[in-house]
Chain A
């Protein structure tokens, strides 16, 4: 730990306003590094510049002075409950974390991690140096890839719809016959439902196993709802994989092969990345 004096610059002309300190991430730094070069335009609105708060010889926190009155518990609770404001905060946070990662490994902190000032931030963050170091080591040279599996909601096959109609219209007027037809339709639907479920589960499992052969770690996230996937798709798997930079081409190869295999089925595989390894910093991942 470098117990030196606070290096924080005071934003010029801002001395009258009260600020809090927002911490975005902890970065690995080497002497002379400028991990946030070119990020002047980033960060939360109406706030100071992004700066580095040294924690020890190898790590620094990426911080920004923000207007205290906009970052009280009350104000934040209100803002974060508003979808538009929540999005602005989230995207600002994400942009900073992502920009910082261009220079080296980064361990993000959750949105709105706030301290009264630089001294408080350094005091608390310094208590967690081993965790940060461990996480930085884990994600160094690696990226997170998001892999999602969707089941396309196709219309029922026309032949089945026709046979349903046939059973009731052309079919049997007797009550017993109608009952049998009904039961058979119910059984048919149940069978379809089960086979669809089994197929989707099996496909998701195949995707996971394939991705996992390349990955250094994996995390299952909660599947997204219809507002995100659209009405015609059901998300059956939402996962993240921690992949060595040198192996990301392999990931794309195994998933491309699976896509070819599953072509013609109702299964779709989506990939996005590289992400900063958000999902692999806490140390609970498999």
Chain B
């Protein structure tokens, strides 16, 4: 939208709304604003598919903003799919660590492409896990 010219006079009547209103301006108002009343037909306006459209409209600013060094809103997870991804990755990492800890500090053998904990952990001595171990290591 281009800059709106201010006419010298202010419309006397109640707002009639910009006639050539930007679709994004309208969407963010008719979807997000107004008094929400639970109707008989439940439409979640934040529904996934709808959200993808909205993300296309809004979220690209996160990447471009970061490039320009303006990133104060990127901590909003609703805005930043990357932030959401990294949060998920972090959660996954913590879960893996907990799982590893629960299983006695030893990775469970077959998977685990990354860091294997040192074999000789205190106390376990020569005892090996019964399964999933064997020839692999």
When distances are taken between beta carbons in the complex, the residues of chain B under 8 Å from A104 are 14
Nearest B residue (CB) for A105: B14
Would A282 and B35 count as touching, CB distance under 8 A?
Answer: yes
Would A115 and B14 count as touching, CB distance under 8 A?
Answer: no
- Residue B57, interface by CB 8 Å: yes
Would B25 and A128 count as touching, CB distance under 8 A?
Answer: no
Report which of B21, B22, B34 forms a contact with A281, defined as CB distance below 8 A: B34
Would B27 and A101 count as touching, CB distance under 8 A?
Answer: no
Q: Which of B51-102 contact A (CB under 8 A)?
A: 52-53, 56-61, 64-65, 68-73, 76, 79
Whether A234 contacts B65 in the complex (CB less than 8 A), given A226-B60, A278-B34, comes out as yes
Would B35 and A131 count as touching, CB distance under 8 A?
Answer: yes
The smallest C-beta distance from A186 to any residue of chain B, in angstroms, reads: 14
- Residue B120, interface by CB 8 Å: no
Nearest B residue (CB) for A285: B33
- Residue B42, interface by CB 8 Å: yes
Assembled-state Cα–Cα distance A55/B76 (Å): 39
Q: Which of B28-62 contact A (CB under 8 A)?
A: 28-43, 45, 47, 49-50, 52-53, 56-61
Q: Which of B8-23 contact A (CB under 8 A)?
A: 10-11, 13-18, 21-23
Would A23 and B39 count as touching, CB distance under 8 A?
Answer: yes
Would A224 and B61 count as touching, CB distance under 8 A?
Answer: yes
Assembled-state Cα–Cα distance A25/B36 (Å): 11
Assembled-state Cα–Cα distance A225/B64 (Å): 8
Assembled-state Cα–Cα distance A201/B65 (Å): 12
- Residue A206, interface by CB 8 Å: no
Would B53 and A196 count as touching, CB distance under 8 A?
Answer: no
Would B68 and A273 count as touching, CB distance under 8 A?
Answer: no
When distances are taken between beta carbons in the complex, the residues of chain A under 8 Å from B22 are 228, 272
- Residue A270, interface by CB 8 Å: yes
Stretch at the interface among A8-16, A41-49, A106-114, A167-175: A106-114
When distances are taken between beta carbons in the complex, the residues of chain B under 8 Å from A236 are 65, 70
The smallest C-beta distance from B79 to any residue of chain A, in angstroms, reads: 6
- Residue A33, interface by CB 8 Å: no
21 A-B contacts, Cβ less than 8 Å apart? A72-B41, A73-B42, A77-B43, A81-B47, A81-B49, A94-B29, A94-B30, A97-B30, A109-B37, A114-B39, A116-B40, A124-B38, A128-B37, A200-B70, A201-B70, A222-B28, A222-B79, A226-B60, A234-B70, A272-B21, A282-B34
B interface residues, Cβ below 8 angstroms from A: 1-4, 6, 10-11, 13-18, 21-43, 45, 47, 49-50, 52-53, 56-61, 64-65, 68-73, 76, 79
The 6 closest A-B pairs by CB, nearest first: A274-B15, A225-B60, A81-B49, A98-B17, A193-B69, A278-B29
A interface residues, Cβ below 8 angstroms from B: 20, 23, 25-26, 71-73, 76-77, 80-81, 83, 86-87, 90-91, 93-94, 97-98, 101-105, 107-116, 120, 124-125, 128, 131-132, 135, 143-144, 146, 151, 153, 193-194, 196-197, 200-201, 221-229, 234-236, 245, 248-249, 252, 256, 268-279, 281-282
